[in-house]
Structure 1
């Protein structure tokens, strides 16, 4: 290769290298300028996630799953049937409670009839008291008359003793009539008391029946609101216990928000209602708007299971993070594709004037 050819090649390499270096320099200057501009005008964090309410669906009764009427990631409406638990045991208990309630009501009817009968007997006993009282009055008058005749020697002692005996019989009959009337009244009151107790028992059995109705209704598990089901982990024939989580549902009616964890040095001038710009990693180039809804009352580490204690061990100062809740705004259709857990980058202007 001649010296002239080699010089041309070196010149070409030098030109290419210079061009590449210039391009790299321009890119670095643009990137650096943009970074500095962003840093000066915005508080920014990429420690942010889209959030939604993800609530558990729990069983309220024990039993074996009869059917599962949803699939993973299915959209559901409020009131849609999700799971049906075998209700055979609860139906039997419900029928038993209904029969027990009917029996108690029938007993009340019997006791009401007994109260009527006892009241009639008491009325008859009261009438006997009147008759016995009249008879006693007559015997007392006869005795008093014969006593005067005996004292005037116009009647014999035998006649007086006979009148006295008849008076004592009348007194005994009057006392017996009063006791019969008191017993009839007492029996009537006893039956009425039994009726009141039975009325309370009817209320108790009615409550038991309602509880059994509820337990039977709990065997059909419905969607509590509009949402989207999570992963399915249950199958027909599986035994579930009361309180067991059988599914998770994402609440679509409660809206969506972003939790952005800013450093403690960044939140000094942030305020509720401040506009926010959000970029989601899943949708590059697309921007979402929002407003600060609230700032956490403490750093995220304070809400952890084991909050740090700087009084123990060696202390190393670390900038803490403050969770900031941001309400997403805009057309609902634009937010439809945002799912809980998606990573986001949040920008907030530093100019608060």
Structure 2
């Protein structure tokens, strides 16, 4: 059917009007979306993966976990051959028992020395009493000799008795001093023996720790990954044998352009979309801003002190906390798309967080269970 000539002339104007209205509506929608959301596709799921390493060397005799198995903190993962560790512990305990017996022997000798000291002290007292009696006898016979009632020979005999008694006192005192010095030597010997016992007890504790370390336990809860250990393998301290991924504590690191981060605030709501979970948007919140751009943490930092410098927009990593009840499905390494709701409540801006880093720790609030 032929078009009306007048309509035919107005058709380009009508099409242009429709296109113009569509552009206006699209522009308004785009502008409103730009005002409401800040988005990026440069985002990835991450988790604080724990690398499990043995603390002692030895042969693996038992592997109690499989790939991709969920484990709880403290669960036994691997057992190493503990024959040497048990022998070392038995030897250390035997040496400790021998040294403790030595201390008991010193204590018994010290008790005996105390008894000897008491005996020597009694002997000194007895000798002093004999000496006092001898001096009294000399004084008494001296008074009688002045009256002529006692011979001079008797006086000399009594005086000799005094000298003998004094010599006995000196001998008893010397014996007492010798016993006291022997007791002092035993005291220093006991101190040395006790120190040796403590050293042996430390050796026992060290051997017991080495035995306990033949059993490798999960330090955190999570899922086993990168299990590279097998029965019969010889492992050494520091070598990674498996990884534990805490899937319930995953988070997203979104790399926003430096022209975008100025509008972001800590605590703002984030909508997360993952290709692996179509139609299942997740929710998160901005937890922190990185202290530098991603290029600063590269193995080979970019050197811009050249004559042919070209300005490239840098990206700042932003950490996003995923709600735990939803984030348990995420796997580290997945790429996601994030959209930050700029109208949601937030606290510190990117600049304020950099100026007051101490206040950024608790802005995200409690994690939802």
- Place the TM-score, normalised by the shorter chain, in its bin: 0.7 to 0.9
C-alpha contact (below 8 Å) 1:278/1:344 kept by paired residues: yes
Paired position in structure 2 for 1:301: 295
Deviates further, 156-165 or 210-219: 156-165
Measure how far apart 1:153 and its partner are.
6.7
TM (norm. structure 1) is 0.82
Deviations 1:118-175 (A, max 9, x none): 1111111111111111211222233445556667776666544443333222211100
Paired position in structure 1 for 2:262: 268
Q: d(CA) in 2 for partners of 1:352 and 1:237?
A: 56
Change (3 A) 1:313 1:65: farther
Give ranges in structure 1 of 5+ residues lacking alignment: 1-21
TM (norm. structure 2) is 0.79
Measure how far apart 1:47 and its partner are.
0.7
Change (3 A) 1:62 1:196: same
Q: d(CA) in 2 for partners of 1:175 and 1:294?
A: 87
Paired position in structure 2 for 1:227: 222
1:204 aligns with 2:178: no
- Give the number of equivalent residue pairs: 323
Alignment RMSD: 2.8
2:227 partner SS: coil
Paired position in structure 2 for 1:336: 328
Q: d(CA) in 1 for partners of 2:100 and 2:276?
A: 67
Deviations 1:230-287 (A, max 9, x none): 122122222222222211110245x121100000001111101111111112223331
2:131 partner SS: helix
Q: Superposed, which structure 2 residues align to 1:237-248 within 5 Å?
A: 237-248=232-243
Q: Superposed, which structure 2 residues align to 1:45-124 within 5 Å?
A: 45-124=40-119
Q: Report which structure shows greater RCO (CA 8 Å, sep ≥6).
A: 1
1:316 aligns with 2:310: yes
1:120 partner SS: helix
C-alpha contact (below 8 Å) 2:247/2:328 kept by paired residues: no
Measure how far apart 1:88 and its partner are.
0.9
1:135 partner SS: helix
Measure how far apart 1:328 and its partner are.
1.3
Paired position in structure 1 for 2:276: 282
1:347 aligns with 2:344: no
Paired position in structure 2 for 1:128: 123
C-alpha contact (below 8 Å) 1:269/1:352 kept by paired residues: no
Measure how far apart 1:57 and its partner are.
0.5
Q: d(CA) in 2 for partners of 1:82 and 1:297?
A: 37
